[in-house]
Amino acid sequence: MSRCQIISLPDLTKARNRQDGASIKYDEAVYSEALKQFANGRKYLVKTFGCQGNVRDEEIISGYLEKAGFTKTSDEKEANLVIINTCAVRENAEDKVYGEIGKFKGNTKADKNFILGVCGCMMQEEKKAESLIKTYPFIKLIFGTHNIADLPSMLDRIISSGHGLVDVISYPGDVIENLPSIRLDPYKAFVNISYGCDKFCTYCIVPYTRGRERSRPLQSILDECRKLVEDGYQEITLLGQNVNSYGKDFHDGTNFATVLEEVAKLGIPRLRFTTSHPWDFSLDMLDVIAKYPNIMKCIHLPVQSGSTAVLRQMGRRYTREQYLELVKAIRERMPGCAITTDIIVGFPNETEEQFAETLTLCEEVKYDAAFTFIYSPRAGTPAAKMVDNVSDEVKHERFNRLLKVVEAGVIYHSSQMVGKVYDVLVDGPSKKNEDILCGYTESNKLVNFPGPSYLKGHIVKVKIVEDHAFSMLGELQDDPVEVLLKSAKGKLAKEPAYIEYLAAKKAYEEDAELQANLKAKEAAQKALALSMGTDEYDAKKAAFAALSELVENNPNYINLVSATADLRALFVEMKAILQ
């Protein structure tokens, strides 16, 4: 422990602080010579647990590491720097982390400069960092969710001093823009619209680990999304613990409906968003979702419990009836809209009657999918202090009963899909079989279907032929080559050489004098051919040469010839892509 310098440790009292007025800062990380030298030739690996927010953090961490000069590896043995990005939402999420840390003891032995870092939500909990460095003395770096942007300077300190470092801050949190990032997927992207959470549901640790709720400036979100569209991304998921409370901290009327509409207008083929809190769900949001075909009709609406009494104890701020009203409003406005949810079983003192209300709510709503969890007490949250009279055995038994009801809803929706055709965004070949592609429908159903791997990243029509509850079997309806050609045309349209060619062709076609000369040249060529071997031949040849010169000296003709030559090179590239 003495070899680890402790700069700061988390403090849940500070983490509860909710002052308004987060500042917008810009990334100004400094990459020292020592860090750059160290990174040169070394490889990094980030292992992420938890939600999409953490996945996005991994991309930012990778951005910093690659800017410093590290290169990525997926091989644990050859990694020189490993960062474990943790989640604290339930105890089982934390248990996985301990096993993961232990795996890297061998790297430390093999490479004395090996750096193992641990970050993320679990590090924002009290006592976690201290206990980790005691149990795993080979950990060199611990940081939290608020100081990812300090990664280059923290690494520099470790490299220069030879000591480990623990630096976890508990503060309300700011917004940092211009973050470096290496995206994990070339077609699907997560874009943060807000950070943190102010809801303080009584069971949840997130408001403590992620700080106050703060929205990113609309312009920064739009700039990031516009770039993704230009780069050919097919799907954007807007992220926030509560996306629909976006803008509350601006106090100027900007709200989630505004962001959603503005991003939809950028023309991304698929737009998703998560998570929506039922309490903040507005009807103008529904209007925007309904209005834009590229906003996926799929709403994740965590209910947590079907009992108003339990919801009150959870601090969820809505009743069973209000939730059901909202579901009704969604279904009336968009009959085919998929609704998914999160449910917690076994909240302290949940009675059999209260649990039964969750079952009847699930039967009534018939969710397209539901993530079900057994309540896990989180130190520092109000629910963790409640005396709980429900045994683990009862909780597990309820959990299994809930799974059955949830499954019935999922199967109901899947069975309705058989025989119908859906748009599927292809993720790529399935892990088990290279000839089978997998992808997701608008309602986030997983579909497997035979098809060529080059369809990865394309949206194709697939007919559902079999329903397997949690995945479907389908048949490709589009001609795969046609799909590819269509997208090649789309790509071509953005190429400067193609744009120049189109302009040159237009000028050429609109040049009346050039057209007249071309026609005359054609006639002269014919006359020349007919006069072959006659006395007139020389005269016809001279006339033809004069007309040819007129045509070839016309600037519109010259431009078209050179634009066509440039385009040819592009065609060769496109052909290689198509093959």
| Alpha carbon distance 177, 154 (integer Å) | 20
Residue of 31, 200, 373, 454 that binds ligand SF4 (CB under 6 A): 200
Residue of 67, 90, 140, 540 that binds ligand SAH (CB under 6 A): 90
Nearest 5 degrees, angle CA 241-CA 247-CA 253?
A: 150
Q: 236-275: which residues touch ligand SF4 (CB under 6 A)?
A: 241-242
Residue of 4, 35, 54, 358 that binds ligand F3S (CB under 6 A): 54
Q: In terms of CB distance, is 122 or 149 closer to ligand F3S?
A: 122
Angle between helices 555-578 and 480-493 (to 10 degrees): 140
Residue of 122, 158, 204, 547 that binds ligand SF4 (CB under 6 A): 204
* Residue 375: contacted member of ligand SAH, ligand F3S, ligand SF4, none (CB under 5 to 8 Å, by partner type): ligand SAH
H or E element at residue 48? strand 43-48
String of DSSP letters for 312-356:
HHHT----HHHHHHHHHHHHHH-TT-EEEEEEEE--TT--HHHHH
325 with 287: CB under 8 angstroms? no
Place of tokens 């601006």: 250
Residue of 130, 342, 388, 566 that binds ligand SAH (CB under 6 A): 342
Long-range contacts of 496-504 (CB under 8 A, 24+ apart): 497/563, 497/566, 497/567, 497/569, 497/570, 498/567, 498/570, 500/563, 500/566, 501/560, 501/563, 501/564, 501/566, 501/567, 503/563, 504/556, 504/559, 504/560, 504/562, 504/563, 504/564
Per rule CB under 6 A, is residue 255 in the interface with ligand SAH? no
* Residue 376: contacted member of ligand SF4, ligand SAH, ligand F3S, none (CB under 5 to 8 Å, by partner type): ligand SAH
Phi, psi of 98 (to 5 degrees): -60, -45
Widest CA span of the chain, in angstroms?
Answer: 116
| Alpha carbon distance 103, 101 (integer Å) | 5
149 with 27: CB under 8 angstroms? yes
Q: Which two tokens stand for residue 508?
A: 């050429």
Who's near 446: CB < 8 A, 6+ residues apart? 438, 439, 440, 470, 471, 472
The torsion defined by the Cα of 267, 268, 269 and 272, in degrees rounded to 10, comes to -130
Residue of 373, 454, 537, 571 that binds ligand SAH (CB under 6 A): 373
CB of 85 to ligand F3S, least distance (A): 8
Q: Which of the ranges 14-22, 179-187, 375-383, 405-413 carries the binding residues for ligand SAH, by CB under 6 A?
A: 375-383
Phi, psi of 387 (to 5 degrees): -75, 135
* Residue 365: contacted member of ligand F3S, ligand SF4, ligand SAH, none (CB under 5 to 8 Å, by partner type): none
* Residue 207: contacted member of ligand SF4, ligand F3S, ligand SAH, none (CB under 5 to 8 Å, by partner type): ligand SF4
Q: Which two tokens stand for residue 342?
A: 């999160």
**CB atoms near residue 267 (< 10 Å):** 11
Q: 202-231: which residues touch ligand F3S (CB under 6 A)?
A: 205-206, 209-210
Give 272's Cβ-side CA count (13 Å radius).
Answer: 25
Q: Which of the ranges 1-9, 63-71, 201-209, 460-468 carries the binding residues for ligand SAH, by CB under 6 A?
A: 201-209
Q: In terms of CB distance, is 65 or 205 closer to ligand F3S?
A: 205
Q: In terms of CB distance, is 117 or 278 closer to ligand SF4?
A: 278
What's the order of all strands across the beta sheet hosting 338-345?
298-300, 338-345, 369-374
| Alpha carbon distance 360, 306 (integer Å) | 8
* Residue 87: contacted member of ligand SAH, ligand SF4, ligand F3S, none (CB under 5 to 8 Å, by partner type): ligand F3S
Residue of 206, 326, 406, 437 that binds ligand SAH (CB under 6 A): 206
Q: In terms of CB distance, is 303 or 460 closer to ligand SAH?
A: 303
Place of tokens 């997927």: 185
Q: Which two tokens stand for residue 341?
A: 């949810």
Q: 359-398: which residues touch ligand F3S (CB under 6 A)?
A: none
* Residue 344: contacted member of ligand F3S, ligand SF4, ligand SAH, none (CB under 5 to 8 Å, by partner type): ligand SAH
CB of 89 to ligand SF4, least distance (A): 8
- C-alpha radius of gyration, the chain, whole number: 30
Per rule CB under 6 A, is residue 343 in the interface with ligand F3S? no
* Residue 285: contacted member of ligand F3S, ligand SAH, ligand SF4, none (CB under 5 to 8 Å, by partner type): none
Per rule CB under 6 A, is residue 375 in the interface with ligand SAH? yes
| Alpha carbon distance 474, 447 (integer Å) | 6
11 closest CA partner among 143, 121, 124, 130: 124
Q: In terms of CB distance, is 346 or 451 closer to ligand SF4?
A: 346
CB of 213 to ligand SF4, least distance (A): 8
Residue of 201, 238, 410, 547 that binds ligand SF4 (CB under 6 A): 201
CB of 245 to ligand SF4, least distance (A): 9
Overall size of the chain counted in residues: 579
Per rule CB under 6 A, is residue 199 in the interface with ligand SF4? yes
Q: In terms of CB distance, is 71 or 400 closer to ligand SAH?
A: 400
CB of 452 to ligand F3S, least distance (A): 36
* Residue 200: contacted member of ligand SF4, ligand SAH, ligand F3S, none (CB under 5 to 8 Å, by partner type): ligand SF4
Residue of 164, 172, 180, 207 that binds ligand SF4 (CB under 6 A): 207
Q: Which two tokens stand for residue 438?
A: 């997998």
Per rule CB under 6 A, is residue 88 in the interface with ligand F3S? yes
Kindly determine how many residues on this chain lie close enough to bind ligand F3S according to the rule CB under 6 A.
Answer: 12
Per rule CB under 6 A, is residue 196 in the interface with ligand SF4? no
Per rule CB under 6 A, is residue 402 in the interface with ligand F3S? no
Per rule CB under 6 A, is residue 246 in the interface with ligand SAH? no
Residues that bind ligand SF4 (CB under 6 A): 197, 199-201, 204, 206-207, 241-242, 277
Residues that bind ligand F3S (CB under 6 A): 50-51, 53-54, 87-89, 121, 205-206, 209-210
Residues that bind ligand SAH (CB under 6 A): 89-90, 203-204, 206, 241-242, 275, 277, 302, 304, 342, 344, 373, 375-376, 378
